[in-house]
Structure 1
């Protein structure tokens, strides 16, 4: 592994080397708090490299305020590999205090069409950051139900153009998926 590999390659290489179940188990442990972010950066740093690559070992004086990155990387893993029991960990991560973790949960929800996560993500539609609102809108469009359309419609007047565009596309996708008009 090199420090210049894309995250997908790092994760897939770790799965090939250590076993997909071991890598997923570690990511779930980080997301659920069974392995704290501090432990991930100290006693579990070799496993943390499975999620981010060898550069993580070079952070000898990491500020504890940045420990949340372990949860971000653990969530990101599920963009590349999957196991159904990850949904429970992602439900916990949907309420993570770090917005980057919640954004990744929204991305995974959209990619994998995980309807069981949509309600937990809805607060992200009013997040202060446009990228979180956009990611959440995409998740709702990909995995939501008719009752979620009104929340997306409210974003059509969002002050940020990228959020408005994401909401429009999400409504289109929702209508296509459900085969009905929702406006």
Structure 2
């Protein structure tokens, strides 16, 4: 699929090829140990992946890749991902924390730590993170 397509389409194509559990597992690997998976990063980042893989914006272990891996969980999901998303609410970069809140709003079911993490984000230093946490907490549980 062309890299110019939307993240939703790129992710749907990848899920179609490899299955949802496998795809989510690859995303969790990025979140868990920072594994560099250039093929996955290209799917997640589209046209922006090339510069990041070449070292821009903290490179392939940086915040964009973590943010993209989290964003992918809006389109492909497994309940096994929830603890990693809750953990991402403590990421060092605000973009990843914001995306973690968005994913929890859309996907969290067990709330195993999600509500406490979102409560903590209400006091985050970045206004976009606080806003995402507020929206997430306003969602019906």
* TM-score, with length taken from structure 1: 0.66
Q: 1:130 to 1:48 in 2, by over 3 A?
A: same
- Which one of the candidate residues 126, 129, 134 is aligned to 1:129? 126
Correspondence for 1:65: 58
* Residues 79-90 of structure 1: pairs in structure 2 closer than 5 A: 79-90=74-85
Inter-partner Cα distance in structure 2 for 1:13 and 1:20: 10
Q: 1:143 to 1:102 in 2, by over 3 A?
A: farther
* TM-score, with length taken from structure 2: 0.84
Q: 1:14 to 1:53 in 2, by over 3 A?
A: farther
Inter-partner Cα distance in structure 2 for 1:54 and 1:87: 28
Correspondence for 2:15: 15
Inter-partner Cα distance in structure 1 for 2:88 and 2:42: 20
- Which one of the candidate residues 102, 105, 109 is aligned to 1:107? 102
Shift of 1:60: 5.6
Which structure: larger Rg? 1
Structure 1 stretches of 4+ with a deviation exceeding 6 A read none
Inter-partner Cα distance in structure 1 for 2:132 and 2:21: 28
- Deviation per residue, 1:113-157 (Å, 9 max, x gap): 54331101222212232211110001112256xxxxxxxxxxxxx
- Which one of the candidate residues 74, 81, 87 is aligned to 2:69? 74
RMSD over aligned Cα atoms: 2.1
Report 1 or 2 for greater relative contact order, CA contacts < 8 Å, sequence distance ≥ 6: 2
Matched pairs, number: 137
Q: 1:60 to 1:95 in 2, by over 3 A?
A: closer
Shift of 1:31: 1.2
Q: 1:50 to 1:23 in 2, by over 3 A?
A: farther
